[in-house]
Structure 1
Amino acid sequence: MTSFVRGIALLGFDEFALGQGLDSQALLAEAGLPADTRDGLISGLKFNALLELCARRSGNPLFGLQLGLQQGSQALGGLLYLIQSTRTVGDALQALVQYFHVHSSGAELHLERQGNQARFLYEVIDGDATSVRQTVELAMGMGAQLMQGLLDQAWKPDALWLRHPAASESGAYRRLLGVTPRFDSPINAWTFDAALLKAPLSATDERFQQFARRHLEELARMSVQELPAYVQKLLRQGLPEGRISIEHVAEHMQLSPRTLQRYLQAEGTGFQELLDQTRQAMATRYLCDSSIKLTQLAALLGYADLSAFSRAFTRWYGVGPQKWKQRVKQTQGLAESVAAPHQPLAHGR
Structure 2
Amino acid sequence: MSDDPSHLNSVRAAALACFGDLVRDLGGDAAAILRSCGLTPAVLTDPERSIPYRNVVQAVEAASRILNAPDFGLRLCAMQDINALGLLALVMQSAPSVREGLMLGARHVRLHNPALGYRTFMDTDRGLEHLAVFQRLEPNDDMLQATEICVSYMRRTLELLSGGAVQPVAIHFRHAPLGSEAQYRQHLGQTPRFNAAFDGVSVDALAMRRRSLRHNQFLERFVGGFLAGLSPAPEQSAADQVRHALASLVRLEMADLGTVARILGRHPRTLQRRLHAEGVGFEELRDVARKNWARELLGQQELGLVHIAHLLGFADQSVLTRACQRWFGATPRQLRRNAGAWPRAAL
Q: Is the 8 A contact 1:118 1:191 kept in 2?
A: yes
Residue matched to 1:209: 223
Aligned match for 1:17, one of 23, 32, 41: 23
RMSD after superposition: 1.9
Q: Is the 8 A contact 2:161 2:212 kept in 1?
A: yes
Structure 1 unaligned regions, length at least 5: 226-349
Q: Is the 8 A contact 2:134 2:199 kept in 1?
A: yes
> By how many angstroms is 1:133 displaced?
0.7
How many Å separate the matches in 1 of 2:88 and 2:155? 16
Residue matched to 1:147: 158
1:131 and 2:142 correspond: yes
Q: Is the 8 A contact 2:111 2:263 kept in 1?
A: no
Q: Percent identity?
A: 23
Residue matched to 1:30: 36
Q: Which stretch shifts more, 24-33 or 109-118?
A: 109-118
How many Å separate the matches in 1 of 2:35 and 2:228? 35
How many Å separate the matches in 2 of 1:49 and 1:224? 22
Q: Secondary structure at the match of 2:104?
A: helix
Q: Which stretch shifts more, 88-97 or 125-134?
A: 125-134
Aligned length: 225
Residue matched to 1:183: 194
How many Å separate the matches in 1 of 2:82 and 2:229? 19
Residue matched to 2:204: 193
1:270-285 matches, within 5 Å, as none
Aligned match for 2:11, one of 2, 5, 9: 5
Deviations along 1:96-134, one digit per CA (max 9) or x if unpaired, are 111112321222122333321011211122116442110
Deviations along 1:113-167, one digit per CA (max 9) or x if unpaired, are 3321011211122116442110001112222211111112312321111000001
Q: Secondary structure at the match of 1:153?
A: coil
How many Å separate the matches in 2 of 1:21 and 1:96? 35
1:121 and 2:132 correspond: yes
Q: Is the 8 A contact 1:89 1:198 kept in 2?
A: yes
Q: Is the 8 A contact 2:74 2:148 kept in 1?
A: yes
Deviations along 1:278-337, one digit per CA (max 9) or x if unpaired, are xxxxxxxxxxxxxxxxxxxxxxxxxxxxxxxxxxxxxxxxxxxxxxxxxxxxxxxxxxxx
Letter matched to residue 18 of structure 2: G
How many Å separate the matches in 1 of 2:164 and 2:139? 39
How many Å separate the matches in 2 of 1:113 and 1:195? 12
Q: Is the 8 A contact 1:72 1:141 kept in 2?
A: no
Change (3 A) 1:103 1:215: farther
Asked which structure has the greater RCO (Cα within 8 Å, sep 6+), the reply is 1
Aligned match for 1:78, one of 83, 87, 102: 87
Change (3 A) 1:155 1:29: same
Q: Is the 8 A contact 1:65 1:140 kept in 2?
A: no
> By how many angstroms is 1:224 displaced?
4.8
Letter matched to residue 92 of structure 1: G
Letter matched to residue 207 of structure 1: R
> By how many angstroms is 1:175 displaced?
2.2
How many Å separate the matches in 2 of 1:168 and 1:199? 33
Q: Secondary structure at the match of 1:185?
A: coil
> By how many angstroms is 1:72 displaced?
4.7
> By how many angstroms is 1:222 displaced?
2.6
1:212-227 matches, within 5 Å, as 212-214=226-228, 217=231, 218=245, 219=260, 220-224=262-266
Letter matched to residue 14 of structure 2: I
How many Å separate the matches in 2 of 1:185 and 1:72? 28
Change (3 A) 1:68 1:215: farther
Residue matched to 1:101: 110
Q: Which stretch shifts more, 93-102 or 66-75?
A: 66-75
Q: Is the 8 A contact 1:123 1:188 kept in 2?
A: yes
Q: Is the 8 A contact 2:116 2:135 kept in 1?
A: yes
TM-score by structure 2 length? 0.61
How many Å separate the matches in 2 of 1:215 and 1:85? 16
Larger Rg: 2
How many Å separate the matches in 2 of 1:172 and 1:184? 18
> By how many angstroms is 1:215 displaced?
6.0
Letter matched to residue 24 of structure 1: A
TM-score by structure 1 length? 0.60
Q: Secondary structure at the match of 1:150?
A: helix
Structure 2 unaligned regions, length at least 5: 232-244, 246-259, 268-347
